[in-house]
Amino acid sequence: MKEYAQIRWAADAKEALSAFPDAVKGIFGYSLRRLQKGLLPDCDARRMESVGNGVWELKTADERAWYRVIYLTRIGDELFVLHAFEKDSRKMDRRDLEIAKSRLKMVLAELRKAKEEDNAQ
């Protein structure tokens, strides 16, 4: 296992995170770097069992909005960021939950396919 996990971004998660205010990007960037090293994030985090096993949410806010990054825990040498979004209420929008779930299914299908190809060789 490598010292640092590679971050793999699902769909537009990286672009969405890049659009956050600089201070928010800094908080999430530092926490993602800690996760790459196998350490705990530096911001609020909670399990997202409603999305799937091994899925977590990083949370922060500023005076304007709440910001979230949903990721799948490190698998081997990879960390998967499923979804990044901002919201204007405490409650998570069902749409964001569904996006995270569908991206998790996509990532797990890719991992299964890669494992099957490795086993076939």
Confidence at residue 121, expressed as pLDDT on a 0 to 100 scale? 81
Is residue 43 in some structural domain?
Answer: yes
Is residue 16 in some structural domain?
Answer: yes
Mean pLDDT per 10-residue segment, the chain (121 residues): 88 98 98 96 96 97 95 93 92 92 96 91 81
Confidence at residue 1, expressed as pLDDT on a 0 to 100 scale? 62
**Which of 76, 78, 111 lies closest to 1, judged by CA?**
76
- Alpha carbon distance 54, 25 (integer Å): 23
Confidence at residue 29, expressed as pLDDT on a 0 to 100 scale? 97
Q: Is the Cβ–Cβ distance between 82 and 10 less than 8 Å? A: yes
Q: Which domain holds residue 76?
A: 6-120
Is residue 82 in some structural domain?
Answer: yes
Is residue 80 in some structural domain?
Answer: yes
Helix (H) or strand (E) holding 110, with range, is: helix 94-120
- The number of distinct structural domains making up the chain is 1
Is residue 1 in some structural domain?
Answer: no
Confidence at residue 89, expressed as pLDDT on a 0 to 100 scale? 81
Beta bridge partners of 87: 66
